Amino acid sequence: MKLSIDASIQRVPFYPKAALYGADAGWVRLSSNENPYPPSPAVMEAMADALLDVNRYPESEAELKSLIAGKYGLAPENVLIGNGSNELIETACRALRTAGRTEVIVSEPSFAFYRIAANIYGYDVAAVPLGALRTDLGRVAEMAGEKTRLVFLCNPNNPTGTIFDDRAFSAFLDRLPPEALVVVDEAYAEFSDNKLFPRSIAYIDRRPVLIMRTFSKAYGLAGLRIGYGIAEKSLVSFMERTKQPFSVNMMALIAAKAALGDERHLAFVLENIRKGRTYLYESLKGLGMDARPSEANFVLVRVGPGAKALVDGLFERKVLVRWLGGYGLPEYIRVTVGTMDENRVFLETLKRLA
């Protein structure tokens, strides 16, 4: 006998997962925007030291909050820790539920989980298409009205790698209704070296803005699941109450603190990923392919109608990249920047297939 499931849940789409996750050897994994480098040695030491403590519940998140707050000149009460920034996407939907404001606006294509989380919590989702592959802030602002409760923006945008700048963001905030929260997902912000990138944190006490960052990308802790949000104190406090107690595990908290303490390792990662990004972009252009400039740790490429076949061909040769059919861009692929060796293997394999 089958249970009946509410129509709002029946509508929830599956998250478009990559073909393969985990640590199987022998694959060149450029499909999930992961960091190709292992984390800082300080992270591994700190985790090893804590192994015998896992019979205890995780420590309070206070220390990590203080470290993050210190980095941005904020108070710990401005910081929320999540089981990946994914948890905080959901937490925002949960904490903001209110009668009469039932709409969530997303820009698409973008990260798929915004729509999924909004659906889970019963919101109606309005999607604003990208304009020339960029977040169209003007149209998002036009779309926002009395019913709008949350607006999800991804900057740099996954999967296009484009950004909107501080001026555009500021003008956009001025146009929004006062009861709409703007969630700016900056999962890839560390990889951008653009001076015009929004100083989004400067807005948190002036406008309803929640900024989300993650340890999954630049800090290389994707497998541990930890991210953070930054917002005005009372919003953080309400979100905190709707979260699972202990949603962030002990190892993740310990690793994140150690990762924040190793700025040299972060600098190593950023330098190499930016170099690899330029190398991939220029090599692809050199092959006559339509690669797009990116501010993130991945490159978008318009391949044409053969995009899926190319991704399948690469897969057969153990090179994983993402076909963007699931994002409504069937002629495009997204290639994560790997180590220099991985970037070369990808390009060599591509040349043999093209």
Q: Are 181 and 214 in contact (CB under 8 A)?
A: no
Phi, psi dihedral angles at 18 (to 5 degrees): -70, 165
Residue in the shown chain whose Cβ atom is closest to ligand PMP: 84
- CA dist 237 and 70 (Å) reads 19
Paired strand residues for 34 = none
Q: Quick check: 79 and 60 in contact, CB under 8 A?
A: no
Asked if residue 297 binds ligand PMP (CB under 6 A), the reply is no
Is the CB of 18 or the CB of 67 nearer to ligand PMP? Answer: 18
Residue type, 83: N
Footprint on residues 193-212 left by ligand PMP (CB under 6 A): none
**CB closer to ligand PMP out of 78 and 86:** 86
DSSP state of 271: H
* Residue list 128-187, contact with ligand PMP (CB under 6 A): 154, 158, 185, 187
Of 216, 283, 336, 349, the one binding ligand PMP (CB under 6 A) is: 216
User: Among 54-62, 194-202, 214-222, 320-328, which window interacts with ligand PMP (CB under 6 A)?
Assistant: 214-222
Nearest residue (CB) to ligand PMP, 107 versus 214: 214
- Residues counted in the chain: 354
Near ligand PMP by CB under 6 A: residue from 35, 85, 91, 283: 85
How far is the C-alpha of 124 from the C-alpha of 102, rounded, in Å?
Answer: 6
Helix (H) or strand (E) holding 230: strand 227-230
Query: Partners of 125 in the beta sheet?
Result: 104
| Structure token pair of residue 41 | 């040695």
Q: Tell me the chain's radius of gyration from C-alpha atoms.
A: 20
Q: Please give the size of the binding site for ligand PMP, defined by CB under 6 A.
A: 13
Question: In angstroms, rounded to a whole number, what is the distance separating the alpha carbons of residues 114 and 151?
Answer: 9
Binds ligand PMP by CB under 6 A, chosen from 36, 39, 84, 161: 84
Instruction: Report the residue number, 85 or 148, with the smaller CB distance to ligand PMP.
Output: 85
Among 86, 148, 297, 336, binds ligand PMP (CB under 6 A): 86
Tell me which stretch binds ligand PMP (CB under 6 A): 1-9, 79-87, 241-249, 278-286. Answer: 79-87
Residues that bind ligand PMP (CB under 6 A): 33, 84-86, 111, 154, 158, 185, 187, 214, 216, 222, 227
